[in-house]
Structures are given as C-alpha cells and as structure tokens.
Amino acid sequence: MRLLGFEVYCDVHSLDRARSGAIWGDIWVDMSGYAYPESHWNDMAVALLVELLDAVESLDGASDKQARVRFFDGPFWIDLAGRGDGALHLSVRIDGVERQEAVDLGELRESLKRVGGELATACVGRGWGDEQEVRRLQAKSKE
C-alpha cells in the first residue's frame, strides 16, 4: 500500500473569508497524478478538510463502511471505503473515468492532520481562529 497515490493540497495563501464566515481557498486532491477536481480548485477549504478527517476517522478499522465526502462547490466527491486491513479504498471520477487507490489509513490520517494543522495555523494568523470550523480543524489535527 502507498499513500503517494492520494494527496490533499491546500494553498494557504489563497484563503479568504466570506461574510458568512465560511473560509474559501484553493484545495484539491492529487490522485495518481491527476488533480481533482482540478489544480487550485477554490472551495470551502476548512470545512472540506474537516469532512475528510471525519470520514477517515469513521472508517478506522471498518471493512464494511463507506463514506462520501462532497466538495462544497460543484458536483465533485471522494468515495472512501474501509478495507479492515489498515487501508482505505479511495475513488474519484475524473473526466468520466473512475480513478481508484488503496492507501494506508494511518499515513493518510497523518497527512490530513499535517495539512489541517497548516491550514488552521494560517486561519488563526489571519484572525479567524474563533470560527467554529477552524476550531474543529485545530482539534482534529491534534488528535
């Protein structure tokens, strides 16, 4: 198993907060060399990363559970399925073709926490540390 086939990227320099408090920024997934939904996709970065961390946590050790994490902008999602062997099966649909990877659960969790920590730190640095989603991301990135 490898993690290299699935990586989440977030450009913390692109962050902006809407009047509603939602934090938008460039966030995307690299799946075996394919950017999904596309490189520097602008979405609700903090909320999406919290959803991904929640999904990974819910599938820990499960072989019969599945989760779908939807991007907040556009009809895009990541399907995750527990395998029960310390791995997750991940899939996305890119240009009408389903791309799949099996990744180590622990490595994925640590990678998401690292990105989450960087994102939370950037948000706090901009004075957005009181936002509920930022506090959730901070907590999940430290668990």
Worst-scoring range by mean pLDDT, 68-82, 92-106, 111-125? 92-106
- Sorting pLDDT into bands at 50, 70 and 90, what band is 17? very high
Worst-scoring range by mean pLDDT, 20-24, 84-88, 126-130? 84-88
Q: What is the mean pLDDT of residues 123-132?
A: 97
| pLDDT at 124 > cutoff 50 | yes
Domain ranges of the chain: 6-141
Distance CA 76, CA 73 (A): 8
- Sorting pLDDT into bands at 50, 70 and 90, what band is 1? very low
Distance CA 15, CA 120 (A): 11
Q: What pLDDT does 143 receive?
A: 77
Q: What is the mean pLDDT of residues 54-65?
A: 87
| pLDDT at 2 > cutoff 60 | no
Question: What digits encode the pLDDT tens for the residues 26-42?
Answer: 999 998 889 999 999 99
Structure-block tokens of residue 120: 């939370």
Q: What pLDDT does 3 receive?
A: 52
Q: What pLDDT does 64 receive?
A: 82
Task: For residue 25, give the 3-state DSSP assignment.
Answer: strand
Q: What pLDDT does 58 receive?
A: 92
Report whether the peptide linkage leading into residue 37 is cis, meaning its omega lies within 30 degrees of zero: yes
Cβ neighbours of residue 10 under 8 Å, at least 6 residues apart?
25, 26, 27, 45, 49, 115, 118, 119
